[in-house]
Amino acid sequence: MSLITTLARLEAVSTGRAQPAATVRHRHLSDHPLVLVPLTTAGEAGAPLGALVGTDRDAPQLLVVPQPRDRDLRFAFLSELADIVLPYVDGYAESVEAAERNETDPETGKRVKVEVELCADAPQLIVPSRAGVDFLRLLGRSMRFRRTAEQDPETPYPAPPRVPLLGRWLTHFGERARMPGSSLLPAMTDLLARHWSTGQSTLEDQHLGALLAWIDPPEGRSGAEAALEAELARDEQGQLRHPPAGPATDPAFDNKLLAPAFERYDRARTALHAAEDGLEADDRLGALTAAEEEIRGLVLSRTRPTWDAVWHGIDLLRALPEGAHVEERWTRDRWSFTGHRDRVTAGEPPQPRRDDAVTAANKLASREREQARLEAQEALDDPLVMAGRRLAGEAFAGEVTDVVMTYSEGKRPSPRPLVTVRTEDRPHLGERAKVYRSLGGKPQSAEFVGYEDSAEGSPEGGALIVLKILDKMGRGKEPEAGSVPEKGDRVCFTLFEHEQRGGAKLPEPEDTPWTHGGPPGEAVQETADPVTPEDVL
Amino acid sequence: MTTQVFDPGAAAGEATEAILRDTLHGAHRGVVVDSPPGAGKSTLVVRAALELADAGRPLMVVAQTNAQVDDLVLRLAEKNPELPVGRLHSSDADPYDKALDRLPQVRKSAKAGDLTGLPVVISTAAKWGHVKVDEPWAHAIVDEAYQMRSDSLLAVAGLFERALFVGDPGQLDPFAIVGSEQWAGLSYDPSASAVTTLLAHNPELPQHRLPVSWRLPASAAPLVSDAFYPYTPFRSGTDHDDRRLAFAVPSDGSGPDKVIDAAAESGWGLLELPARHTPRTDPEAVRAVAAVVRRLLDRGGAATSERSPDPTPLTADRIAVGTAHRDQAAAVRAALADLGVADVTVDTANRLQGREYDVTVVLHPLSGRPDATAFHLETGRLCVLASRHRHACIVVCRAGVSDLLDDYPSTEPVQLGTLVKFPDGWEANHAVLARLGEHRVAWRP
């Protein structure tokens, strides 16, 4: 935890309210997000219990699996989910703009610009918590290898038509969510925790109710009190007053309310199957419907508070102005979305279970680049984030007190002005360290020359840092106007780079070297996991 | 009963011969050499490079940092000033050590094409990753292979036919700045070390190890070997009487002086501050580190070793301070500057890897912490910090670390398919603390 975060958390404790950790919004928020509040069944990995889903905060759609261990009901749930999510996703696939992309020409091997389509906007799925992102990834994994009766008439348990496609999309969203700074599938707790520091631990911040209680406590109460209540308060039946955001449910709810309701549902269903004539069946169908309604009511009672909390979080975040680089990062999300749209249209097979060596290395490298870029961009977009970097000795801000023109040696001397900056920050500057400042959105680099003895007893105090500006001054002998800071200017230099270099070029998967097991071989059509006795009731 | 006399020189020589035999004449595409701290890894790399060059095999050498590359070039030039060497460097300003400019046989370029035909070309893994060739090199030497990440080996492995991988398995593992759990357990996990991936796919490759540490004194080798290399023990190349650290100025009775004397006598010293939870840059501990360094210099130390019969003065360049975090290093540097000390190396464990000093002063990674995270428990971090010295190592620490260790057993999730690393940081930390406890000096700042 950085020093400024520690300070903000201490301040949150003493004031009883979360403190801002950002002055702008660092993540893209769609005008039209799809909110998804999933619940899972205890003790059964990847068995959905239900979900509240939709784009209209006043009219969410409730999907429920009345008996989560019944595969047919589960497929019915996934099918309904596909009917809501896929039209929403497809709604963004149509509207495109022309863009250019660098590609390697297969004939010449040269990098050439190709005209391609880029979706004008992309869908955004918002889930309450990080566990929700993992759950969607798991659902995606469980669906994408399923075969429909149309794809394979022989398959023993055919999936409903659009379910495998939903699996591929959820897999894509889940994988993209691992990219630092991406916004295709954000978790509300992560979004809020990025922008506010609470007086509780980062682990406790994963409880959406408690987190919101710190950020926006009810009138007249402290965040700590409200958070404690959100976490622990129970009604006279022993049920949590603020159900957890899921997907896991509270054990007291599972045991006291859900299990008996499942039992009633099972009994009603058995009774219906045993009905001997139409009249009896009608009665028993009524009992089954009532039992199902009861479970629907239970699921709604546990998802609706979370649904409202997510929209509350969206309201809080929308009140922040968007950071300058957010649009650029969202564009990369749009590229990611467009890329997957194209793979689906081209009829490519679903994403493999495991990445091959080259894909894994490429993903890791791009995520590390993106992480470094995100950290730099957030600091450049937000003085509060920059203050944290300054406090950590990774940046410094101050006033220019002197500029002396010098020139580089060599045949064509170029300007190398020496700029003295007075700062109260204490950057960790090594010998000849490179520092950077943003000049018209582009990084200008300078070299640390040394400290100048500040005049004793000078009223300003602080250190005098001498820098040599190295670039972005044009080609002439005299620097271009505005490219060199002037005496009296406020400047901010960072010790970290603003832009990331491209990494090493990795071989194609078919050229995987012997150290990594050689080429992975022909791609085989992966099938769903075989059905085991535990899978069928 | 006969006692076998251990001849370190002969044991090391035998190991080296076997390694070179496998490298030059073996049937396998790769050879792996594990080298404990100061076991002559660089000497081995230089020797193997010269022999491969003599055998007419075009050789590329992959090191991890520019400092390591420059160091290797200088060592090669020292052993064989005739051998033409290519130094492939980045296109940044000042990409290599200026000392290379004085060597006429070293050709430097940012383009691999300019260096073709030279018997040996040396560069960093990062730079090699951008090189494309039609004809791969016959042989490669990969230095510090345990600190190289699997993905960076993937980027360069297409450049060579066969390779010698050399490194120290006990030092810091490579790391990624983003989560990589998604690939844990895969044989080619891109965040694992290059050697882990290499051996997972090629388990038949011959593995050697260097059995003798020439750097660590007889007082340190058994502890470091037991604590960090329990299944691959090594010995010290010197005996207890071979090295001596003496000070001209007698102790003034203060904590720093007492701990210096304890360390001079036994090779280890622990300066213990009262238990307290502190920020990372604990001002008292930082001042204590600086005070010890100041006294080391003021007391006119002299180090006698097998290298020369006469004592050599203990100067600032023979002392290093090691910390876990960069801000701690910066705080120590500032404290040293306040005491008028210059030229003492102060760095984090990551940057001290592969370096050697007479005396090291270490700010214990767990000092003053309320918790023991995986980062602070990492075996490699403590191993690096406790194995940089030829004579003595002084650790500055808050009391209460063993309680902290007992309060925080490791809780990292177990990933299927990954090799469990032994020893774990918990055990290694206890082993080192138990030994340091024998040379404890309590100090109230």
B136–A contact, CB cutoff 8 A: no
How many structural domains does chain B have? 2
Query: What does the alpha-carbon distance between residue B142 and residue B194 come to, in Å, rounded to a whole number?
Result: 10
Q: pLDDT at residue A453 above 70? A: yes
Q: pLDDT at residue B226 above 80? A: yes
Burial environment of residue A323 by CB neighbours within 10 A (0 to 12, 13 to 18, 19 or more): buried
8 Å CB contact of A361 and B154: yes
Question: Is residue B44 within 8 Å of B32, Cβ to Cβ?
Answer: no
* Interface mutation target, options B153, B154, B186, B328, chain A, most CBs of A under 10 Å: B154
Q: Work out the minimum CA distance from A223 to partner chain B, whole angstroms.
A: 25
3-state helix, strand, coil in chain B (%, to 5): 40, 20, 40
Count CB pairs under 8 A between chains A and B.
Answer: 99
> Side-chain half-sphere of A312: how many Cα atoms within 13 Å?
17
Q: What residues have CB less than 8 Å from B408, skipping those under 6 apart? A: B371, B372
Q: What pLDDT is attached to residue B379?
A: 87
Least confident of A149-158, A173-182, A493-502, B188-197: A149-158
- Its domain, for residue B175, covers 8-213
8 Å CB contact of A360 and B186: yes
Q: What is the DSSP letter of B27?
A: S
A435–B contact, CB cutoff 8 A: no
Q: In this structure, what token pair is assigned to residue B173?
A: 């593992």
Query: What does the alpha-carbon distance between residue B377 and residue B429 come to, in Å, rounded to a whole number?
Result: 7
**pLDDT tens track for B13-61:** 999 999 999 999 999 999 999 999 999 998 999 999 999 999 999 999 9
% of chain B with per-residue pLDDT over 70: 98
In a domain, B270, yes or no: yes
Higher pLDDT: A142 or B421? It is: A142
Which helix (H) or strand (E) segment is B391 a member of?
strand B389-398
Average pLDDT of chain B, as a whole number: 91
Q: In this structure, what token pair is assigned to residue B104?
A: 């006429």
Q: Work out the minimum CA distance from B108 to partner chain A, whole angstroms.
A: 20
- What is the pairing mode between strands A196-197 and A125-126? unpaired
Chain A positions touching B29 (Cβ under 8 A) are 514
Q: Give me the mean pLDDT over the B339-357 stretch.
A: 91
Q: In this structure, what token pair is assigned to residue B103?
A: 């060597």
B135–A contact, CB cutoff 8 A: no
Task: Indicate if B14 and B59 belong to the same structural domain.
Answer: yes
Burial environment of residue B333 by CB neighbours within 10 A (0 to 12, 13 to 18, 19 or more): buried
Tell me the residue type at A422. R
% of chain B with per-residue pLDDT over 90: 71
- Please state the domain extents for chain A: 3-245+303-353, 382-494
Determine the number of helices (DSSP H) and then strands (DSSP E) in chain A. 13, 14
- What is the pairing mode between strands B308-313 and B301-305? antiparallel
Nearest to A75 by CA among A137, A156, A160: A160
Q: What is the DSSP letter of B37?
A: T
Q: What pLDDT is attached to residue A412?
A: 82
Average pLDDT of chain A, as a whole number: 91
Question: Is residue A187 within 8 Å of A317, Cβ to Cβ?
Answer: no
8 Å CB contact of B189 and A503: no
A318–B contact, CB cutoff 8 A: no
A392–B contact, CB cutoff 8 A: yes
Q: What pLDDT is attached to residue B1?
A: 42
Task: Indicate if B278 and B146 belong to the same structural domain.
Answer: no
Q: Give me the mean pLDDT over the A372-392 stretch.
A: 95
Q: What pLDDT is attached to residue A532?
A: 73
Task: Indicate if B193 and B243 belong to the same structural domain.
Answer: no
Q: Give me the mean pLDDT over the A8-16 stretch.
A: 95
> Side-chain half-sphere of A323: how many Cα atoms within 13 Å?
28
Q: Give me the mean pLDDT over the A59-85 stretch.
A: 94
Query: What does the alpha-carbon distance between residue A250 and residue B164 come to, in Å, rounded to a whole number?
Result: 56
- What is the pairing mode between strands B160-167 and B106-109? unpaired
Task: Indicate if B188 and B82 belong to the same structural domain.
Answer: yes
* Interface mutation target, options B178, B195, B327, B343, chain A, most CBs of A under 10 Å: B178
Residue from the list A3, A355, A513 with its beta carbon closest to the beta carbon of B183:
A355
> Side-chain half-sphere of A253: how many Cα atoms within 13 Å?
25
pLDDT class of A534 with cuts at 50, 70, 90: low
| CATH assignment of the domain containing B275 | 3.40.50.300
Distance, C-alpha A520 to centroid of its chain = 31
SS3 category, B356? coil
Task: Indicate if B131 and B264 belong to the same structural domain.
Answer: no
Helical ranges in A28-109 per DSSP H: 71-90
Task: Indicate if B95 and B205 belong to the same structural domain.
Answer: yes
Chain A positions touching B150 (Cβ under 8 A) are 361, 516
Task: Indicate if B194 and B271 belong to the same structural domain.
Answer: no
Angle CA B213–B219–B222, to nearest 5: 60
In a domain, B303, yes or no: yes
Distance, C-alpha B76 to centroid of its chain = 20
pLDDT class of B2 with cuts at 50, 70, 90: very low
Q: pLDDT at residue A536 above 60? A: no
Q: What pLDDT is attached to residue A299?
A: 96
- What are the C-alpha distances in Å from B45 to residues A356, B12, B39, B71? 32, 14, 12, 12
Residue B88 has a CB neighbour count (10 Å cut-off) of 26
pLDDT class of A426 with cuts at 50, 70, 90: confident
Q: What pLDDT is attached to residue B324?
A: 94
Residue from the list B29, B151, B186 with its beta carbon closest to the beta carbon of A514:
B29
* Interface mutation target, options A353, A409, A515, chain B, most CBs of B under 10 Å: A515
Query: What does the alpha-carbon distance between residue A212 and residue A219 come to, in Å, rounded to a whole number?
Result: 13
Q: What residues have CB less than 8 Å from A504, skipping those under 6 apart? A: A365, B126, B128, B129, B130, B152, B155, B156
SS3 category, B422? coil
pLDDT class of A495 with cuts at 50, 70, 90: very high
Q: In this structure, what token pair is assigned to residue A2?
A: 């950085």
Task: Indicate if B404 and B437 belong to the same structural domain.
Answer: yes
Task: Residue window 144-163, chain B: list those with CB within 8 Å of chain A.
Answer: 150-158
**pLDDT tens track for B326-338:** 889 989 998 999 8
Determine the number of helices (DSSP H) and then strands (DSSP E) in chain B. 15, 19
CATH code, A382-494: 2.40.30
SS3 category, B442? strand
Chain A positions touching B93 (Cβ under 8 A) are 470
In a domain, B3, yes or no: no
Chain B positions touching A3 (Cβ under 8 A) are 279
- What is the pairing mode between strands B389-398 and B268-273? parallel
Q: Buried b / exposed e across B390-419, counting CB within 10 Å, b at 16+?
A: bbbbbbbbbbbbeebbeebeeeeeeeeeee
Chain A positions touching B326 (Cβ under 8 A) are 428
DSSP A114-125: EEEEEESS---E
**pLDDT tens track for B109-164:** 999 889 988 999 999 999 999 998 888 999 999 999 999 999 999 999 999 999 99
- What are the C-alpha distances in Å from B27 to residues B21, B139, B204, B287? 10, 13, 11, 56
Query: What does the alpha-carbon distance between residue B159 and residue B131 come to, in Å, rounded to a whole number?
Result: 8
pTM: 0.91
Q: Work out the minimum CA distance from B309 to partner chain A, whole angstroms.
A: 37
Question: Is residue A437 within 8 Å of A446, Cβ to Cβ?
Answer: yes
Residue A137 has a CB neighbour count (10 Å cut-off) of 20
Q: What is the DSSP letter of A479?
A: P
Compare all CA atoms of chain B with the CA of A355 and give the residue at the minimum distance.
Answer: B183
8 Å CB contact of B190 and A360: yes
- What are the C-alpha distances in Å from A157 to residues A68, A189, B380? 16, 37, 51
Task: Indicate if B204 and B236 belong to the same structural domain.
Answer: no
Chain A positions touching B142 (Cβ under 8 A) are none
Q: Which strands make up the sheet holding B308-313, listed edge to edge?
A: B244-247, B301-305, B308-313
Q: What residues have CB less than 8 Å from A35, skipping those under 6 apart? A: A52, A53, A54, A55, A57, A60, A125, A126, A127, A307, A310, A311, A314
Residue from the list B93, B177, B198 with its beta carbon closest to the beta carbon of A515:
B198
Which backbone phi and psi does B193 adopt, to 5 degrees? Answer: -80, 155
Query: What does the alpha-carbon distance between residue A50 and residue A40 come to, in Å, rounded to a whole number?
Result: 7
Q: What pLDDT is attached to residue B345?
A: 94
Question: Is residue B251 within 8 Å of B271, Cβ to Cβ?
Answer: no
Task: Indicate if B331 and B368 belong to the same structural domain.
Answer: yes
Domain boundary among B213, B238, B265: B213
Task: Indicate if B312 and B196 belong to the same structural domain.
Answer: no
8 Å CB contact of A504 and B155: yes
* Interface mutation target, options B159, B188, B278, B280, chain A, most CBs of A under 10 Å: B188
Q: What is the DSSP letter of A148?
A: B
Compare all CA atoms of chain B with the CA of A371 and give the residue at the minimum distance.
Answer: B178
Domain boundary among B170, B197, B213: B213
In a domain, B378, yes or no: yes
A503–B contact, CB cutoff 8 A: yes
What is the interface pTM, i.e. ipTM, of the complex?
A: 0.89
Helical ranges in A319-471 per DSSP H: 326-345, 357-381, 383-391
Distance, C-alpha A481 to centroid of its chain = 41
Query: What does the alpha-carbon distance between residue B370 and residue B279 come to, in Å, rounded to a whole number?
Result: 10
Residue B123 has a CB neighbour count (10 Å cut-off) of 26
Task: Indicate if B311 and B199 belong to the same structural domain.
Answer: no
Query: What does the alpha-carbon distance between residue A530 and residue A160 come to, in Å, rounded to a whole number?
Result: 18
Residue from the list A368, A428, A515 with its beta carbon closest to the beta carbon of B201:
A515
Q: Give me the mean pLDDT over the A350-358 stretch.
A: 92
Query: What does the alpha-carbon distance between residue B424 and residue A482 come to, in Å, rounded to a whole number?
Result: 56
